[in-house]
């Protein structure tokens, strides 16, 4: 790939310069990791936003912000509350170019404001441990650094790009889903910066994801004096959980995972409330309708019982990511770019979900694990392999140059969104 670019010598020179900034970039990442930007920590997310925008100032992009809507959350008492989500960041340059790339990522982490895990430190010369170093403050740094290298290249004016960073990916992108779909429809190619696996493997096809809260309302009564007058919501929920879990495998790849249960008040009271938070995964888009129909059947039978009311909140928030011909062509281009840089790019299907699902659902071919190599994400053992920072910057910079040089024009000519 590199040797066949029309400006190969200039491209090689720019890629060779990336290593010169590695130490400084690790310093930036260490500072970013010390900013707690857990989902819905609005103050921390605002601090993270300011740090990113300041770092990106050299790109000369147009900067704007999009306030996201509140989303609903079912509280432990069954009441539905509105939850604020902050705002998304948009950086745009040459937005009307004939070739347009959308680069996405998220500023939030899974670590709440009161987490004990608040700073980065080296576990060894090659392992940096810290909140968000891999997922995905390291990825954002790869993205912005690759754009900086690309903007120095002779290909810069041949490609328009937009960076979209959301503050709610770790909670399912519920508030940013509409914005992701809108911006996906204006682009030709999507690049997302979730971390790669430690060995460099990237995600290919992805399952879809849904999150639900199953709420059961029964009838309270004294557990000794009036037991027969009560309707035990906890017992009903236990039966319902079994019925929902039995849907696992009803179609290939479907899993239903009841995960968090609450209910009841005191042992001498027949409980009138219980609920369970449930995650589902599905392999094909049409599985969603099948699953929803089965849920409706179960709820209908329970709501026909005297003394019970059953509600199901939530839905499928990320459809499955299916690989289209355009997506396969992008994956092959990235494989060729990796080979030119001296490493093999492999892809594996995964049950995990990310913004790549949202982009694919909007028709945008994308690869969504272009961030740093690392592991143990979503835990206090999260780490990034430091040598992957320059490696992945070079990879993304070369991908951008190849797209700008026309290597995917056969798909881009079909229109925005693939």
4 versus 35: which is more confidently predicted?
35
Contacts of 193 (CB under 8 A, 6+ apart): 103, 104, 105, 136, 139, 140, 142, 143, 370, 371
Burial class (CB in 10 A: 0-12, 13-18, 19+), 408: buried
**Does the pLDDT at position 151 exceed 90?**
yes
**234-243: average pLDDT:** 97
Helical packing angle, 137-151 and 388-404, nearest 10°: 50
Q: What domains can you pick out in the chain, each with its CATH number?
A: 2-207+320-412 (3.40.630.10), 217-318 (3.30.70.360)
Measured distance CA(40)–CA(113) in Å, rounded: 9
**Does the pLDDT at position 414 exceed 60?**
no
CB 156 within 8 A of CB 150: yes
Measured distance CA(280)–CA(291) in Å, rounded: 9
Nearest to 194 by CA among 344, 306, 310, 358: 358
Sheet order of strands, 189-192 included: 62-67, 87-93, 160-166, 100-106, 189-192, 366-367
**Does the pLDDT at position 327 exceed 60?**
yes
Measured distance CA(346)–CA(369) in Å, rounded: 11
Summarised one tens digit per residue, pLDDT across range 94-105 is: 999 999 999 999
What value, to the nearest 5°, has the Cα angle with vertex 64 and ends 59 and 67?
145
Mean pLDDT, all residues of the chain: 95
**Does the pLDDT at position 340 exceed 60?**
yes
Share of the chain above pLDDT 70, in %: 98
Annotate 280-292 with three-state secondary structure: EEECCCCHHHHHH
**29-50: average pLDDT:** 97
| Per-residue pLDDT, 415 | 54
**Residue 354 vs residues 68, 209, 321, 398: alpha-carbon distances, Å:** 18, 9, 10, 24
**Residue 393 vs residues 14, 57, 99, 148, 345: alpha-carbon distances, Å:** 11, 18, 21, 10, 14
Residue 61 DSSP one-character state: -
Summarised one tens digit per residue, pLDDT across range 155-202 is: 999 999 999 999 999 999 999 999 999 999 999 999 999 999 999 999
Q: How confident is the model at residue 77 (pLDDT cuts 50, 70, 90)?
A: confident
What six digits make up the tokens of 314? 């939530």
- The alpha carbons of the chain give a radius of gyration, in whole angstroms, of 24
Measured distance CA(230)–CA(212) in Å, rounded: 26
169 catalytically annotated: yes
| Per-residue pLDDT, 417 | 52
Question: What is the distance of C-alpha 109 from the center of its chain?
Answer: 10
What six digits make up the tokens of 298? 């179960």
CB 41 within 8 A of CB 188: no
- Active-site residue among 108, 162, 170, 272? 108
**Residue 29 vs residues 48, 290, 347, 376, 389: alpha-carbon distances, Å:** 11, 44, 27, 17, 10
75 catalytically annotated: no
**Does the pLDDT at position 416 exceed 70?**
no
What six digits make up the tokens of 302? 């329970």
- Max Cα separation, the chain? 87
Measured distance CA(100)–CA(175) in Å, rounded: 24
| Per-residue pLDDT, 412 | 80
**Does the pLDDT at position 271 exceed 90?**
yes
Measured distance CA(146)–CA(314) in Å, rounded: 37
**Does the pLDDT at position 409 exceed 70?**
yes
Q: How confident is the model at residue 22 (pLDDT cuts 50, 70, 90)?
A: very high
| Per-residue pLDDT, 418 | 47
- Active-site residue among 135, 169, 336, 405? 169
Summarised one tens digit per residue, pLDDT across range 3-13 is: 778 888 888 89
| Per-residue pLDDT, 413 | 61
Residue 333 DSSP one-character state: H
Summarised one tens digit per residue, pLDDT across range 368-392 is: 999 999 999 999 999 999 999 999 9
pTM above 0.75, yes or no: yes
CB 42 within 8 A of CB 86: yes
């Amino acid at each position: 790939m590199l040797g066949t670019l029309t400006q190969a010598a200039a491209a090689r020179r720019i890629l060779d310069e990336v290593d010169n900034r590695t130490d400084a970039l690790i310093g930036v990442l260490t500072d970013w990791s010390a900013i707690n930007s857990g989902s819905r920590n609005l103050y921390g997310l605002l601090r993270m936003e300011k740090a990113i925008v300041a770092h990106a100032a050299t790109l000369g992009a147009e900067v704007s912000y999009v306030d996201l809507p509140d989303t609903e959350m079912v509280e432990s008492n069954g009441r539905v509350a509105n939850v604020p989500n902050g705002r998304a960041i948009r950086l745009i340059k040459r937005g009307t170019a004939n070739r347009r790339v959308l680069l996405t990522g998220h500023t939030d982490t899974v670590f709440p404001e009161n987490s004990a895990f608040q700073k980065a430190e080296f576990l060894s010369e090659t392992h940096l441990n810290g909140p968000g170093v891999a997922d995905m403050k390291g990825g954002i740094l790869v993205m912005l650094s690759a754009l900086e290298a690309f903007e120095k290249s002779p290909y810069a004016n041949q490609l328009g790009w937009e960076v979209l960073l959301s503050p709610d990916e770790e909670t399912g992108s519920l508030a940013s889903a509409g914005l992701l779909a809108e911006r996906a429809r204006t682009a030709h190619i999507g690049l997302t910066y979730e971390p790669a696996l430690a060995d460099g493997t990237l995600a290919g096809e992805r399952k879809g994801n849904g999150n639900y809260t199953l709420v059961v309302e029964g009838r309270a009564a004294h557990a000794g004096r009036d037991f027969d007058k009560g309707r035990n919501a906890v017992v009903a929920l236990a039966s319902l959980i079994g019925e929902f879990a039995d849907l696992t495998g009803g179609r290939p790849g479907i899993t239903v995972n009841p995960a968090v249960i609450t209910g009841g008040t005191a042992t001498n009271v027949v409980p009138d409330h219980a609920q369970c938070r449930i995650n589902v995964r599905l392999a094909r888009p049409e599985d969603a309708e099948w699953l929803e129909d089965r849920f409706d059947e179960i709820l209908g039978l329970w709501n026909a019982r005297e003394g019970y009311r059953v509600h199901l909140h939530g839905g499928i928030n990320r459809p499955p990511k299916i690989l289209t011909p355009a997506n396969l062509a992008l994956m092959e281009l990235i494989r060729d770019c990796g080979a030119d840089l001296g490493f093999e790019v492999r892809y594996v299907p995964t049950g995990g979900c990310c913004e790549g699902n949202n982009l694919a659902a909007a028709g945008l071919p994308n690869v969504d694990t272009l961030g740093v190599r690392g592991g143990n994400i979503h835990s206090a053992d999260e780490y990034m392999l430091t040598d992957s920072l320059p490696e992945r910057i070079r990879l993304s910079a070369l991908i951008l140059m190849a797209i700008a040089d026309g290597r995917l024009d056969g798909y881009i000519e079909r229109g925005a969104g693939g």
